Structures are given as C-alpha cells and as structure tokens.
A = this chain, B = another copy of it.
Amino acid sequence: MSLVIVGSLAFDTIETPLDRREKIVGGSGTYCSLAASFFTHPRVVGVVGRDFPRKTLDFLRSRKIDLKGVSIKAGKTFHWEGRYGEDPNQRTTVRTDLNVFADFKPVLPPSYRSADIIYLANIDPDLHEPILNQARKPRLVAMDTIRYWIESKTDAVFRELKRVDIYFANDEEVKLLAGDTNLVRAGRKLLKCGPSLIVAKKGEHGALVFGRDFIFGVLARPSEDVVDPTGAGDSFAGGFLGYLDTVPKITPRELRRAVVYGSVIASFAIEDFGIDRFRTLTPREIKARFGEFKKLVSF
C-alpha cells in the first residue's frame, strides 16, 4: 500500500475572532500527510523555499512521512493569509503569495511511481496530467479543488474529473461546479462526470458522500472550541485516504469508515493552531473519538 500526496507546504497567517498567528506552517500537503500518517506512511510531492523550517521537515519525517518528493528551492515558501469570522465556515483570503509554488512542476521520485493511491490536493488542474503520466496504474486517484480553479479553469477541472475516482470539495464548490443550487442534485450530476465518489465537505455540518448507489452522511463532531479551522478539509482527506490505504479491498463499508476517520482527524486538527494538534495526537485518542462519532448518531 502506498499513498502519494501532491500539495502545498506553506506558511499561513491566520486571524480568528480570538487570536492571530503569523507565518505558522500549513499547506494542503502538510495537513494531509500528517493526517494520513496516523494510518500509513504517506509520500509527499511539493516545494518549499529556503525559509521553510528544517525542524518542521524533521517533524514530518518523525511521523514516517516520506519527503523525497519535496524539493527545496531558492526563494520564499508559499504564504497564505486568511481571516475567519464568528462562523468558522466563513473565511476570507487576505493575501496569497505563491512564491516558489508559482513554478511548481511536480516530479514523482521513482519510488513513488507505483503508488496505489494518488491524491491531487488543491493544485492547478493543468498539473494533474503530467503527474498522473508519471504514475503506473494507481488503484485510486482523488482530487480536491477550490472556487479559484473552478472559476478560472472550469474546462480543465471537468477534464480532470474524468481521470479521478474521488472528488473532494466543499459543498459550495460542488454546487458551483455542477451549476446546481441543490447539493444532492449537484453531487449526482458530478457522479456522471467521472468520479465514482463525490465527497461534499460541509465544515461544521459534516459531510455528504455520494456514491453511484448510496449516500452516506457524517456529522461533524459538535465542538465548543474551534481554535483554527485551517486545514480541516485537507486533514479530512488525509484521514480518509490514509485509512483507505490500509484496507485490502475498498468496499462501501470501508468508504463509510474512511469518511468517519477523515472527520475524526479533522476534528482534532481544528483544536489547535496550524499543525500543532498533530504533535500530541495519539492512536488511542483517534480510536476513542471514532467511538464518539458512532455514539453521536446511533439510534
């Protein structure tokens, strides 16, 4: 089993109603690989500048994350700045400095090319093809995308949908891409565009998952303290795919469990700023919270 994650390693400057953090480590690849590392040994493809902290790379390696695919370039690391309102589902991008990420040309090291699962985190859809061309028959390809690409490269997003098995997006993005204001209709429309699974993430309202012949829903864990919602979606994908990487056969039952593991990991990620919660998280805590998720919806 092997999971390759292509995404960003970044600095985030984050403002919440209660606090602010300047240039802490974030990025889709970082969150996703840390989340997945509680299940498998993910491999990351990304790029950082010389200013990216060596001790963060050491931390990732200590979690058995393979960083052979991460290149260090002259220049600065991708920097995103965002602000959250009282409703953590609402966020405003204040500033985006792509820096070395602007010329990101993902290269899969030879040891990554036989990956079973490839996850294309939120990157330019035009990068998908060159990445997938480097891979040998992955068992499963998943992608995420955001409003920016849906609006600026609609055709490319639809072209890439044909090549993936799982499409992750926020509910608003699913509706935007499908051109339908109803999430269920939108999810079903996108199922006809290629993927066999559409995972619509709804933040504090959980997630709805549309398969060819089933719908599955998960509630987010009711939380009194959302410290920092950044990376929740990427952590969800990481937990989801990390778990799937460990199962012998991907069945509807395993997909449901993967969704719950994704939600469990995301529920931890938001308990602290940036990636800090992953520094202390234990398998025992994950197991206990999986049980909590079951209890929450059992009747």
Contacts and interface: CB of A to CB of B under 8 A. Distances in A.
Nearest to A296: B217
Interface residues of A, number: 36
Interface string A223-236: 11110000000000
A215 B205 contact: no
A257 interface: yes
Contacts of A218: 297, 299
A269 B98 CA distance: 49
A185 interface: yes
A259 B224 CA distance: 22
A71 to B, nearest CB: 39
A222 B299 contact: no
A56 interface: no
Contact of A202 (B181, B205, B259): B205
Contacts of A222: 183-184, 208, 215, 217
A194 to B, nearest CB: 21
A206 B220 CA distance: 12
A296 B17 CA distance: 35
A265 interface: no
A94 B206 CA distance: 32
A64 to B, nearest CB: 27
Given A205-B205, A222-B215, A298 B184 contact: no
Interface string A167-196: 000000000000001111100100000000
Interface string A10-24: 000000010000000
B217 A259 contact: no
A199 B45 CA distance: 46
Nearest to A220: B217
B181 A217 contact: no
A204 B175 CA distance: 15
A87 interface: yes
A103 interface: no
Given A202-B205, A260-B299, 11 more contacts: A184-B223, A184-B224, A185-B224, A188-B224, A205-B206, A208-B219, A215-B296, A216-B297, A217-B219, A217-B297, A218-B297
Q: Give me the 8 closest cross-chain CB pairs, A-B, nearest first.
A: A256-B299, A205-B205, A86-B181, A217-B219, A297-B297, A184-B222, A184-B224, A185-B224
